Structures are given as structure tokens and as C-alpha cells.
Structure 1
């Protein structure tokens, strides 16, 4: 008797592999810089994650070396910038160096986050709506209150596990897509920093180091990335005095330096949960508005009210409902762009 094997749905990683070339990125992460003269290579975009890497097309004799960024190959062909043309000014690093840290697109896709350069999907469209409300509020705060505070957003939650870091990363990626805005994502969850890991970057000194040593220029610790308009500031060296450092006058000077370094910069702080760690309340006094992430399936109203009370140092608190149940067949962002809801 012949048994027909049922068709297995693709896993999350396998679906991600259709968007991002994992093999090319793995080669770049291990430092293998391949010099090719043609855009076409033998790297299969739809290959399985563990498929062996094929050799790139050989360089014709006498041709000059040209490094092809694997990130470029991961972007759908119809979205790629023309090769050989000079990039506009906003795509160059502020310091003019071409040294940028590579964001791990494969990790973003595997974690269900927005992937820069990928077609617009439901998540990207939802964060477009979220960021637009925040940017509109920033403009109003700048007119009526403090222009500096208006450029700072704190992403927080009541308890751990509500998705604040997930929302902070996606918000930063979404705002970075704006034509006239630069984004600095600061890992201010100093007790349990995770931003650098989520993006596949190498950790190093950061916010706490600059706060603890007045000789350090915090701008020197900012990590410029290969995602246009996006930079990262790690949490830095852990200390038992983190809340005291954040509450010190040195913090005001550090923030002023970050704002002064780039007039187009919006700073997003990923904060510790308000009910789990004290730095959140301290940071709330420094920013113009707070995006408070509420998990739909588990944040009780009493904890939400308690978190809002702790964060009352900031007058403008916006609530974002996370982990809303998806009903099959219901309305879902992304279908307008030809994306299949899943």
C-alpha cells in the first residue's frame, strides 16, 4: 500500500530564506569578502538554510575588483538601487567613512521583524501607522514644549515579556525609512540589554560608559549600520549604579551631545519595564513622549495604570497594543500591497 506524504508547510526560517539569502550573509559574517565583476552569482535566493554555498562567478582577467554586498543581493531585484550610480547624501555615513556594521537581516526575518529592503508586509504597514502618530506628536511637542525633548521617544512596558524591545527595533527600522530623519536606537534597558543581539551586531561600550566617564565622547560609541539612517548606541558596561547614573546631570550632557551631533536625529530609548526596574521612571523625565507597549493577552488594567503612574514624568504617553489575535479572513494590513496574509 502506498502512503502519500502530506505536504508540509514551510517553517518560519524557510519562509524567511525566500526573502533573505542566508548563505550570502553567513559568508559576509565570517569575513569572506568575495570580489566579483558581475551582479549575477550562483547564490540561490530560494536555497535551504543549510545548503552548501556555490562559488561566485569568476572575475574576468584584467577586470578591477568590486565587492558586492550580500545585503544588496538579499533585496528583491525590483527594489535595488541602480548599480554604479552615486548614492544620494542621505545614504552616506555622517562621518564619511564607509565603515558600517551589518544588520543581520536573516535574524530579523527569523524573529518576525521588519526586514529593510523587503516588500511591504502587514507588520511594516502597522508600524507605519504607529510611527506616523509619534512623529505628528513630536511636531506638536516641538511647537508647544521643548524642541529637544520632541526628538526623543521612550519605548517601555509594564512587565517583561510584553514585546517592548520587539516594538523598539521595528519602530526604529520604520522611522529610518523616512527621507528626512535619522534614527539613533539606544539600548537603555541597562540591566538586560538585548538590542545589539537582536540586530546581530557586536557588543561594545555604550551609554553607561559615557555616563560614568566624562572623558568619553558618547558619539564615538555610536554604531553606524548599513541600514540607511539607522545607528545604534549599546547599553555599555553593567553597573549597580545604573539608575543613579541615569539620574545624574551627566545624562543631560550626554543626551545634548547626541542631539547636537545630528540635527535630523530622533532618539529612541528601549527602556526597562516600568514595574520591574527603576530606570524607566528616570528616563521618562528626559523624553518628549513614551510609547507604552501593552500585551493584549496578558497585561492587566491595574498594572497598566501603575506603569502610567510611574512614568508620569512625561506628559505624553501613547499606548500600543501588542500580540492582538489574528482572525483568519479578517482585515489585515499588507494585502493592499499584494502580500499574502499568514
Structure 2
């Protein structure tokens, strides 16, 4: 090896050592930019101080699609989800919460597919994340048709399935911080032929108890599969304290709503959100839905 080659090798070794000694920077720690970080970036490989990985939510794209990102616009939908949020928080941490098991665990579902339950799940989580003294954990439990990662604009990664399959021993290994304050995520994870059965397993039951007790000041929102025709969703409902049923206006049949709610436990605090409700042609975002929760 020539003298020049030896010098280059020595320089590369020094650079590698310096890089290894530098602290890892997550997306949350990066300097603020005028536009959100592009979603094509991979998941951050470095662990945060809490031991969780970090994913970067594509806030710009979400804002364009009607999610509660923009501080200045969407006043109507923000107020609607604020009302829903207040009922959920009161049920979780107020007087009613003392009568419910796992009152801080909330499932969001619908009678049939494509009624907007994921849109409601994400917006409710975003609204709760604005609270000063609460955090929210969004769990993609729709294991057959997972869509949370896609809607948030983050890459597919390990999540709930890996934990239920014992590939991850600690649930903290699949809880991801995000670049949105107070907003955490458990993705669905890989597709598995026993996904529904795993959702109804004893390990899932134990996980629900752990999430309820380990983080008593946190709301956990499960975006669940539709109720009608999927028995595992009904089993999952036995582990939560609250259920929100999303109803698409002028489309969802009353018979389907009745069939769905009759399968849920009477011990649950059950509410309904009317989605895609058109109230005014002047309201640009009105079709996203007027909701109520009781």
C-alpha cells in the first residue's frame, strides 16, 4: 500500500470514528424548516431518550387532505372534533370513567368498510394531542386492511403484529414517537394469515390491560376493523372502555348500525360520529362530517 493510500485509509478511519461519536439526531430535533420533511425518508434508526424510534408524519400532505394539522383553517371541523374529544376525555378521566374498565382505551370502528373510521381515528388523535396534559397513542388494529401508516405518510414498519407474534417482547419496541407533540403510534405491522385470530388472543388482552395501566394519563385509540362480519372486533371491544361507531350519512343502513351495536358489550360507553355530512355548500370542509358522541 502506498503512502497516499495509507493516509486516505487513516483519514477514513478517523472520519468513521468521529461520526460514530456524534449524537444521533431525530426528525424532531432537526432545525425547523419552512416545509415538512419529505415522507420518502426512512424511519429514524436512532432510539430517542425514551427508547422509542421516531417516524416523521407528512403534515403537509395530511393538511391538504383535511386532517387537523393547519392551525389557521378548518375551524368548523376542529370545533366538531373538540366536542367529540371532550366527551371522550370526560368518559376516560371524569366521574364516568370510574364506572368503566379501561376507560382510557377507545376503539373506533364502523358497521361496514369505507365509512370513514380511520379519518375519524386520526383526527380524534390529533385533537387530543393538542391537550396540554395528555398524550395520545394511536394503534392501527385494522390488521386486514391497515391504513394508518399510509394516511400519516410514514413507511411501513414493525408494529402490533410483531408484538402479538412474540417477535417483540416489549410493546415499547413498537411504540413510535412522531414529529407531532404528544402523538405516538403503534403501526399494524406485517400482514399475517392469523391476523384476526391474533387480535382476539390472550396476548392482545394482556396488552390492552398494560396500555391502560402503564399510561393512566394517556388516551389509547384503536382503529379497528368493521364490526359486522368480523368477530375479532367484538372480542377486542371487550378490552376497551369506550367505543365510537362511525356512520356515513345517507349511506349506512340503520339495520347495519343496529347489528353492530347489539354485538358490543353493554358495559361500554358507546357513541356515534356522523361522517361525510354536507351541511352547507359554502363550507368547504363540511362534507368531512359533523359528529356527536354521547
TM range (shorter): 0.7 to 0.9
Aligned length: 247
Which of 202, 213, 237 is the equivalent residue of 1:249? 202
Judging changes above 3 Å, is the alpha-carbon distance between structure 1 residues 315 and 210 closer, same or farther for their aligned structure 2 residues?
same
Say whether the 8 Å CA contact 1:163–1:322 is kept in structure 2: yes
Judging changes above 3 Å, is the alpha-carbon distance between structure 1 residues 299 and 141 closer, same or farther for their aligned structure 2 residues?
same
Residue 60 of structure 2: aligned partner:
106
Which of 180, 187, 191 is the equivalent residue of 1:234? 187
* Distance of 1:103 and 1:272 partners within structure 2: 23
Judging changes above 3 Å, is the alpha-carbon distance between structure 1 residues 67 and 167 closer, same or farther for their aligned structure 2 residues?
closer
Judging changes above 3 Å, is the alpha-carbon distance between structure 1 residues 120 and 203 closer, same or farther for their aligned structure 2 residues?
same
* Distance of 1:137 and 1:259 partners within structure 2: 14
1:65-84 superposed matches below 5 A = 67-70=30-33, 73=34
Higher deviation after alignment, 254-263 or 99-108: 254-263
Q: Residue 266 of structure 1: SS of its match in structure 2?
A: strand
Judging changes above 3 Å, is the alpha-carbon distance between structure 1 residues 273 and 215 closer, same or farther for their aligned structure 2 residues?
closer
Residue 128 of structure 2: aligned partner:
175
Unpaired runs of at least 5, structure 2:
1-24, 37-46, 287-294
Displacement, 1:161? 1.0
Residue 78 of structure 1: aligned partner:
none
Which of 149, 158, 166 is the equivalent residue of 1:205? 158
Displacement, 1:282? 1.3
Q: Residue 107 of structure 1: SS of its match in structure 2?
A: helix
Judging changes above 3 Å, is the alpha-carbon distance between structure 1 residues 250 and 99 closer, same or farther for their aligned structure 2 residues?
closer
1:298-313 superposed matches below 5 A = 298-312=251-265
* Distance of 1:291 and 1:249 partners within structure 2: 23
* Distance of 1:292 and 1:233 partners within structure 2: 21
- Give the TM-score taking structure 1 as reference length: 0.66
Say whether the 8 Å CA contact 2:116–2:248 is kept in structure 1: yes
Residue 111 of structure 2: aligned partner:
158
Residue 223 of structure 2: aligned partner:
270
Say whether the 8 Å CA contact 2:52–2:172 is kept in structure 1: no
Displacement, 1:171? 0.3
Displacement, 1:245? 1.7
Residue 115 of structure 1: aligned partner:
69
Q: Residue 320 of structure 1: SS of its match in structure 2?
A: strand
1:1-342 superposed matches below 5 A = 67-70=30-33, 73=34, 95-96=49-50, 100-115=54-69, 117-119=71-73, 121-138=75-92, 139-146=94-101, 149-213=102-166, 216-312=169-265, 314-328=267-281
Q: Which has the higher contact order (CA 8 A, sep 6+)?
A: 2
Q: Residue 150 of structure 1: SS of its match in structure 2?
A: coil
Displacement, 1:99? 6.2
Displacement, 1:119? 4.6
Q: CA RMSD in A?
A: 2.7
* Distance of 1:171 and 1:215 partners within structure 2: 28
Displacement, 1:260? 4.4
Judging changes above 3 Å, is the alpha-carbon distance between structure 1 residues 94 and 319 closer, same or farther for their aligned structure 2 residues?
farther
Say whether the 8 Å CA contact 2:63–2:70 is kept in structure 1: no
1:62-91 CA-partner distances (Å, limit 9, x unpaired): xxxx95322xx359xxxxxxxxxxxxxxxx
* Distance of 1:97 and 1:282 partners within structure 2: 31
